[in-house]
Amino acid sequence: MRPSYWLSFAFVSALLNQPSSVLAQTDEEDLAMVYGDKPTISIATGSQQSLRRAPAVATVITAQDIAATGATDLDEVLEAVPGLHVSRTNTYNTSLYLIRGIFAQNNPQTLMLLNGIPVTTMFVGNKGNIWGGYPVEHIERIEIIRGPGSALYGADAYSGVINIITKNAVDISGTQAGVRAGSFNTRDAWVQHGGKMGEADVAFYLRAGRTDGFDRTIAADAQTRNDRLFGTHASLAPGPVNTGYDAIDGNLDIGYGKWRWRAGYKLRDDVGTGAGVASALDPVGKEKSARITSDLSWNDSQFAKDWSVGATASYMNYQQRMPTALQLLPPGAVLPAGAFPNGMIGAPETAERQVRLFAFAVYSGFEGHNWRFGAGHDDLNMYDTSELRNFNYTMSGVPVPLSAITDFSNTTPFIMPQRRKVDYLYAQDEWNFAKDWTLTSGVRHDRYSDSGSTTNPRLALVWDVQLDVTAKLLYGRAFRAPAFVELYSINNPVSQGNPRLRPETIDTLEAAVSWQASRDVLVNLSVFHYAMQNIIRLVPQSTLGTGSVYQNMGDQTGQGLELEAAWDVNRSFRLSGNLAHQRSIDENTGQDAGYAPHNHLYGRADWRFASGWMFSGQVNYVANRKRAAGDTRPPVPDYTTMDLTLRTEQRKNSWSFAASVRNLFNADAREPSLAPGTSIPNDLPMAPRTLYVQAMYQM
C-alpha cells in the first residue's frame, strides 16, 4: 500500500484520539445513548451486531434511505455505496457491481444474497445476465460488505457481498398499494401486505411492470467494423440500444414460532439485448429469465444453556429462454466463410436447479468468547442446455452459414449439462480479550466436486478507542470458483472451456476508523490493499487457430481509500456523502486494470421543509476511468449526474405521493465497452434525463 494512505490513516487516527468535548461533558451512560449504534448488520459475522463495531468495512441502507433518494431499482441504490460503482455490459444492459476497482465482464466477484442465500447462477457465475433490474418497495434493508467474505460465505464473496433483506409482516404492518409511471413508457403497480393469520406472521408482495427502455444511440458497432472489412452496408448503427422488458415479482413470507418460510418469483420477459449480445445492434432479439426461490429456516436462540442453533434448506430454479432468437449479426452480414442474408441467428438456453442445505451453532459458554460453527452442502445442477443457430464453426473458429436454423442441442451445443456439488465447514470466534478489544478469527474450507478444495481465513481486530471512536484492522482471503462457461464451454473455438481451472484468490488488508464527532456528525475512513492471483482470462491458443481458452493467467493489485460522512444539521436537514479513490494494476502488463473509476464522489441532501414533505437531491460524479491494456482509445469520459425527488411521508390510512427526475441536466453518461474497443468504439450510453410520478395508499 502506498505510504500516503497509511499516513492519512495515521493522521486521522491521531486526530480522533484527541479528548472529545462531548466526553468531558457527558457521563458514560449518556454517551452510550448518544453514540449507541442504531444501524446494525448481520452479514459481517452471521449474527446481528452494531455496524460501527462489526469486523468488516460495511454499509447498511434502510427502506427509509431508499425512499428518500427516490430510487425505484436496486442499481440506483447501490451507486450511493462508497467504493461501489454500477457499470453495465453491452449484453442486455446488465448491471455490474464494481467494488474497489475489481472488474470482470460478468461480474462474478461480487456475491449477491437474498435473505442470506446466494442467487448466483452457475453458467456465468453472477446473479444472471438476464437480470432486468430489482424493485425496491419490498426491501427492508440492504447490507453491503466491501472486501472479502469467503470465510463465512464461500465462493464469490471476493470483492464484496450484497445482502438484500426483504420486508416481513412487522415491517409492512398493514396493506400498501402503489402505482408509478415515468419516461420511456415505464409503468409499475404493486401491492404488499403484512399481518397475522392466526399465530402466523404473513407477508406478501406482488408487482407488475414494464418499460420500453431508454433508446440512446450507438454510433458504431461490431457490424460497422465488418462492413468496412467486407464492403457491406448491413450495420444498423447509428441506432438505438434495446433496453426494454416486462417484469413480474412476487414474494411470500410466513413466520410461525421458530420456523420461517419464504418463497419468491422473478420473471423478466421480452428483455432487450442492449447493444447486442455480439456487440452488433439487435432490435428484434428478446430473452426471458424466470427465477423461483424457496427457503425454509428454523432458529432456536435458546436451544440449550449457552447454545443457539439454526438450519436452512433452500431451492432455486433459474431458466434463461429465448422467446425470439437473437440476431447476432444483422441481415446482409458477410463473414469470410459466407453471407448471412437473414442475419446470423442463435438461441442458446440454460436451466439450473440449486439445492442448498446449511446448519449452524453458536456457543457462548466460554467467558469472552462467542464461537460459531457451520456446515453445509450445495447441489448445483445446470440440468438443461439447448441451442438453435443458423451457422456452424470451422476448426479455426470461423462461423459457416447454414441454409436453415438448426437444433444443435443434442449434437454440438455451446455447453452440455453440468453438475457441481460443494461441501463446506467453517468456524469463527469472536474473542473479547480485553476491555474495548475484540478479535474475530475464522476459517472456512470448501470442497468442490469439479475444481478442488480451498481454505480461506479471516482476522479482524476491533478497538473501541473511546465511546465515540472505533478502529479496525482486517485481513481476509477469498476465492471465486470457475463458472461453468469457463470450465465446460465447447463447440465455440472463440472461447473454449478448461476443466483444469483453479479458483481465483484474493488477499485483502484493510484499516478503518469510525468517529462519531458529535451527536450529529459521523465520519468513517477506510484504506485497503489487495492482491489477486490466478485470475481467469481468455488466452489465445495457437494450436486452436484463432480461438482462445480460459486459463489462470492473471494477477492484479489494488489500493485505495473510502471516506464517508453524515451530518444532521438540524431536525429538518441532513447532509451525507462519500468519496472513494482506488488504483488497480494488472501485474501482467504493468498497466491500469481499466474500466473502474479511480475517483467516485457521491453527495446527498434531505430536507423536511414542511409537515409531511421531504425534498432530496443527490449528485454522483464518476471520474478517471482508464482503458485496459491493448485499448488505445482515450480514457472514458467523466460524468456528473444530479437527481431530485419530492415526496410526502407515508402515513396510515392516507395517500402519499412522489415525483423524481434522474439525471436532471441530461449528462452524456457512458460506461466503457471492452478492449480493444473496435466493436463499440464510443462506449455504452446510459439513460438520459428520466421522470416519474408515483402514488401509494397505506391501509
Contacts (Cβ under 8 Å, ≥6 apart) of 570: none
| Residue range 276-290, pLDDT digits in tens | 999 999 999 999 999
Alpha-carbon gap, residue 376 to 349, rounded angstroms: 29
pLDDT reading at 512 higher than 60: yes
> Which residue shows C-alpha cell 461480474?
107
Spatial distance between the Cα atoms of 496 and 187, rounded to a whole number of angstroms: 41
Residue 175 has φ and ψ, to the nearest 5°, of -125, 135
- Residue 265 C-alpha cell reads as 418469483
- The pLDDT score that the predictor gives to residue 19 is 42
Per-residue pLDDT tens digits for 652-662 = 899 999 999 99
pLDDT category of residue 31 using cuts at 50, 70 and 90: very low
Report the range of poorest mean pLDDT among 35-49, 475-489, 528-542. 35-49
Helices (H) and strands (E) in the chain, counts: 9, 40
Are the C-beta atoms of residues 690 and 214 closer than 8 Å to each other?
A: yes
Provide the pLDDT confidence category of residue 496 given band limits of 50, 70 and 90.
Answer: confident
Q: What is the pLDDT of residue 542?
A: 54
Q: Which range (26-35, 388-397, 551-560, 662-671) has the least confidence?
A: 26-35
Q: What is the DSSP letter of 22?
A: H
Q: How many Å apart are CA 78 and CA 96, to the nearest integer?
A: 11
DSSP for 556-589 reads EEEEEEEEEEEEEEETTEEEEEEEEEEEEEETTT
Are 215 and 275 a contacting pair, CB within 8 Å?
Answer: no
pLDDT tens digits for range 317-345: 999 999 889 999 999 999 999 999 999 99
Percent of the chain with pLDDT over 70: 93
- Judged against a pLDDT cut of 90, whether residue 395 lies above it is answered with no
Domains of the chain: total: 1
Cell 449479426: give the residue.
329
| Distance separating alpha carbons of residues 643 and 608, to the nearest angstrom | 17
Joined together, the cell numbers standing for residue 201 give 406472521
Specify which residues 54 forms β-bridges with: none
Residue partners of 525: CB distance under 8 A and separation at least 6: 8, 9, 12, 512, 513, 561, 562, 563
pLDDT-wise least confident of 10-19, 53-62, 294-303, 593-602:
10-19
How far, CA to CA in Å, does 429 sit from each of 233, 297, 362, 367? 65, 23, 10, 12
CA distances from 81 to 44, 162, 546, 563 (A): 16, 11, 41, 11
β pairing state of 110-114 and 160-166? parallel
Residue 625 is given by DSSP the state B
User: In the numeric block, which cell numbers belong to residue 147?
Assistant: 472486501
Which amino acid, residue 460? A
Structure confidence at residue 491 (pLDDT): 81
Which segments of 286-356 does DSSP mark as H helices, in order? none
C-alpha cell at 154: 464461500
Task: Give dist(CA 162, CA 157) in Å, integer.
Answer: 9
Q: 487 phi and psi, to 5 degrees?
A: -85, -40
| Separation between Cα atoms, residue 52 and residue 16, nearest integer Å | 15
Q: Would you state the pLDDT for residue 375?
A: 98
φ/ψ of 654, rounded to 5, equals -155, 165
Closest CA to 538 of 413, 674, 634: 674
Contact status, residue 245 vs residue 210, Cβ threshold 8 Å: yes
Q: What is the mean pLDDT of residues 410-431?
A: 95
Here the cell at position 10 is: 495515521
Q: Supply 134's cell numbers.
A: 430489482
| Average pLDDT of span 34-39 | 50
Q: Which residues fall within 8 angstroms of residue 318, CB to CB, at 6 or more apart?
A: 121, 128, 289, 290, 291, 292, 351, 352, 354
**What is the model's pLDDT at position 431?**
97
**Torsions phi, psi of 282, nearest 5?**
-135, 95
pLDDT of residue 155: 94
Contact of 326 with 223, CB cutoff 8 Å: no
pLDDT digits (tens, 9 = 90+) for 139-194: 999 999 999 999 999 999 999 999 999 999 999 999 999 999 999 999 999 999 99
Task: Give the span between the Cα atoms of 215 and 93, in whole angstroms.
Answer: 12
Its sign, for the CA torsion 130, 133, 137, 138, is positive
Is pLDDT at 620 greater than 60 in this prediction?
A: yes
Mean pLDDT (the chain) is: 92
pLDDT band at residue 28 using 50, 70 and 90 as cut-offs: very low
Kindly state the cell numbers that stand for 504. 481465483
pLDDT at 510: 98
Rounded Cα distance between 168 and 490, Å, is 44
- Rg of the chain over Cα atoms, rounded to whole angstroms, equals 25
Are 338 and 401 in contact by the 8 Å Cβ rule? The answer is: yes
Q: Mean pLDDT throughout 235-245?
A: 97
Point out which residues pair with 517 in neighbouring strands: none
Task: Give the angle 575-520-54 at the CA atoms, nearest 5°.
Answer: 95
Q: What is the DSSP string of 59-114?
A: EEEEHHHHHHHT--BHHHHHTTSTTEEEEE-SBTT-EEEEETTB--TT-TTEEEEE
Cβ(679)–Cβ(673) below 8 Å: yes
Cell of 593: 486494470
As a whole number of angstroms, the distance between CA 268 and CA 290 comes to 6
Which residue matches cell numbers 436451544?
303
Cα 633 from Cα 628, distance rounded (Å): 10
Structural domain harbouring 338:
3-698
CA 405/CA 484 separation, integer angstroms: 26
Contact between 189 and 205 (Cβ < 8 Å): no
Contacts of 357 (CB under 8 A, 6+ apart): 311, 312, 313, 376, 377, 378
Instruction: Give the pLDDT confidence score for residue 539 in this predicted structure.
Output: 87
* CATH code, domain with 324: 2.40.170.20
> What does the alpha-carbon distance between residue 204 and residue 510 come to, in Å, rounded to a whole number?
40
